[in-house]
């Protein structure tokens, strides 16, 4: 196999572990913390998880290992979208497992949770693992979005576990995947299977975090990758001086990626969905806010700029959410077939106009035709609008162009406006992990085995104090149920991990808020450049600006 020089070098990189995990497995003991309870709906969550609820948080420390010595056969799966560092979670898990007893076994189930259902697996050995150390992607075993949530599925997984003699299953995933891990752990405990279940926090969106989980893995690498690209575009914009670049970034349910990229690159505009929702901003108000920046810069001779837009921005706009809800109702049942059978867009537009309220039709009418039609593209499995298919960056640039045309007619705007559009998603999901993510993920995997060895189940592998050097990181675990609440999903009450949104009173947003008016008018761009893997620690081991601000 032909390898690039960077690939060769990264395979040989030795990830840094927290200090207490460097002592050797035989010198790691457990310190009990306080008992836990769920973030909300405590009685309901406790009733659903009688065997795994309310357990203590724990940390690992230097001391004699008192765990029971036994052969471990562990299964691991990657679940959901890719995130840089997943391979290192598996590498850390493998190394801890083998350093305890070379006869221990790690099985990788292929294609995500469905691999457990289909009993499709590979047994890892040194050569297999060594080919994936410190690399991006999930191609070591693949991933998938099958949910483990029914008793029928759990029964099959139990039989597969029994066949292989599994003592534990590690699920590497985001909030939904770790919710599934908690439910599977409860099932395994209730049925006395002897199989432990441990989760690891993954998502580049950054919305799997709380007072305990300071960062989900992959967020660091993905935002650094996007920020490099945004910085390159800013440099181009400042060179050509003729385009406004509307850049959509990942973040369907939360705006952490957009905020971090803004802190890294200082664009003229960055929309934060949580603020849009809190202020109940309309599409017109958002367009007017962007147009203010365009006008001031244009009138000063600066007909260029950069605006960062989170992927899920339209879902935060109250009037747009109401419009989508009405469209979902309008096309319920047989109406979808009736709508699709109409001969042309004019006939479909009449159908829509008759079915929407006056308020929602007023919102629909201001949308560019391209966006109107995107709202009626292929539905999701529940018959709802697929908001991710809406090109919100094009929607907003068109609304801004319409607003600027009015201002030009009124004589207040004297500049020129041309737009370019970008969406950064896949570009960051499988990048070579930064040193931070390489170290963090390896530590999460190593730590996951310590949780297994000490008999914990329904726990999330937890590494904290992440803004400090790795030597000072703190390793331990927390019950997944601590992060859960009850939410309405598809007409049913379901226990789920609460998504972490951008906190408008948090230090990262407050720093952004204090500077954005200046950035909106001035050309204050910063250029982060490519991720650095080798060189001074202050360049190579940087955490995100978000984490640095949160931890002071």
Helix%, strand%, coil% for the chain, nearest 5: 45, 15, 40
Residue carrying structure tokens 């202020």: 279
Q: What is the DSSP string of 78-128?
A: E-SS--TTHHHHHHHHHHHHHHH-TT-EEEEETTTHHHHHHT-EEE--HHH
Task: Give CA–CA dist 173/387, Å, rounded.
Answer: 23
Per the CB < 8 A criterion, the answer to whether 196 and 185 are in contact is yes
Task: Give CA–CA dist 194/177, Å, rounded.
Answer: 21
Measured from the Cβ of residue 363, the count of other Cβ atoms closer than 10 Å reads 19
Per the CB < 8 A criterion, the answer to whether 450 and 548 are in contact is no
Q: Are strands 73-78 and 168-173 parallel, antiparallel or unpaired?
A: parallel
Estimate to the nearest angstrom the gap between the alpha carbon of 374 and the chain centroid.
25
Which of the residues 205, 207, 437, 439 is marked catalytic? 205
The DSSP secondary-structure symbol of 343 reads: S
CA angle 320, 321, 327 (to 5 degrees): 90
Q: Are strands 196-201 and 474-479 parallel, antiparallel or unpaired?
A: unpaired
Q: Is 205 designated active site? A: yes
Instruction: Give φ, ψ of 541 to 5 degrees.
Output: -110, 20
Cα→Cα distances 230→87, 114, 257, 263, 266, Å: 27, 37, 12, 12, 10
Task: Report which of 97, 94, 102 is spatially closest to residue 124, judged by C-alpha positions.
Answer: 94
Task: Give CA–CA dist 460/326, Å, rounded.
Answer: 39
Task: Kindly state the tokens that stand for 193.
Answer: 């299977």
The sheet with strand 419-424 has its strands ordered as 269-270, 305-310, 244-249, 419-424
The catalytic residue positions are 205
């Amino acid at each position: 196999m032909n390898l690039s020089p960077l690939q060769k070098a990264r395979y040989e990189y030795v990830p840094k572990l927290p200090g207490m995990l460097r002592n050797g497995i035989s010198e790691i003991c457990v310190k009990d913390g306080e008992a836990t309870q769920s973030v909300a709906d405590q009685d309901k969550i406790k009733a659903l998880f009688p065997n795994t609820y309310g357990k203590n948080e724990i940390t690992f420390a230097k001391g004699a290992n008192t765990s029971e010595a036994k052969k471990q056969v562990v299964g691991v799966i990657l679940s959901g979208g890719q995130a840089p560092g997943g391979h290192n979670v598996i590498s850390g898990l493998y190394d801890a497992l083998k350093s305890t007893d070379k006869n221990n076994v790690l099985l990788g189930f292929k294609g995500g949770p469905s691999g457990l259902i289909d009993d499709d697996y590979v047994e890892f050995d040194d050569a297999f693992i060594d080919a994936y150390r410190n690399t991006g992607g999930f191609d070591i075993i693949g991933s998938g979005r099958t949910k483990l949530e029914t008793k029928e599925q759990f029964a099959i997984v139990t039989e597969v576990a029994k066949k292989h003699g599994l003592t534990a299953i590690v699920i590497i995933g985001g909030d939904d995947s770790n919710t599934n891990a908690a439910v599977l752990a409860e099932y395994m405990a209730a049925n006395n299977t002897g199989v432990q279940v441990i989760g690891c926090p993954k998502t580049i969106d950054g919305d799997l975090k709380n007072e305990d989980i300071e960062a989900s893995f992959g967020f660091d690498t993905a935002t650094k990758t996007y920020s490099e690209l945004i910085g390159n575009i800013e440099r181009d914009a400042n060179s050509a001086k003729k385009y406004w670049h509307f850049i959509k970034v990942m973040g369907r349910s939360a705006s952490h990626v957009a905020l971090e990229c803004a802190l890294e690159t200082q664009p003229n505009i960055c929309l934060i969905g949580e603020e849009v929702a809190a202020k109940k901003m309309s599409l017109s108000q958002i367009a007017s806010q962007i147009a203010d920046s365009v006008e001031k810069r244009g009138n000063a001779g600066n007909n260029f700029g950069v605006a960062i837009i989170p992927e899920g921005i339209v879902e935060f706009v109250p009037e747009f959410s109401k419009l989508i809800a009405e469209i979902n109702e309008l096309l319920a049942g047989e109406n979808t077939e009736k709508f699709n059978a109409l001969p042309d867009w004019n006939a479909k537009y009449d159908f829509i106009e008759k079915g929407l309220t006056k308020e929602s039709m007023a919102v629909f009418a201001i949308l560019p035709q391209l966006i109107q039609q995107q709202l009626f593209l292929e539905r999701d499995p529940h018959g709802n609008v697929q908001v991710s298919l809406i090109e919100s960056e094009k929607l907003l640039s068109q609304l801004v162009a319409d607003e600027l045309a009015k201002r030009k007619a009124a004589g207040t705007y004297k500049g020129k406006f041309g737009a370019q559009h970008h969406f950064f998603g896949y570009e960051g999901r499988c990048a070579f992990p930064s040193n931070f993510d390489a170290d963090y993920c390896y530590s999460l995997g190593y730590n996951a085995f310590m949780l297994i060895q000490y008999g914990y189940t329904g726990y999330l592998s937890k590494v904290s104090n992440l803004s400090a050097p790795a030597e000072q990181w703190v390793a331990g675990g927390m019950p997944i149920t601590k992060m859960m609440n009850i939410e309405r999903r598809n007409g049913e009450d379901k226990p789920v991990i609460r998504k972490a949104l951008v906190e408008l009173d948090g230090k990262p947003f407050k720093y952004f808020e204090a500077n954005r008016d200046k950035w909106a008018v001035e050309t204050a761009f910063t250029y982060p450049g490519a991720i650095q893997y080798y060189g001074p620690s202050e360049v190579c081991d940087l955490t995100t600006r978000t984490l640095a601000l949160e931890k002071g």
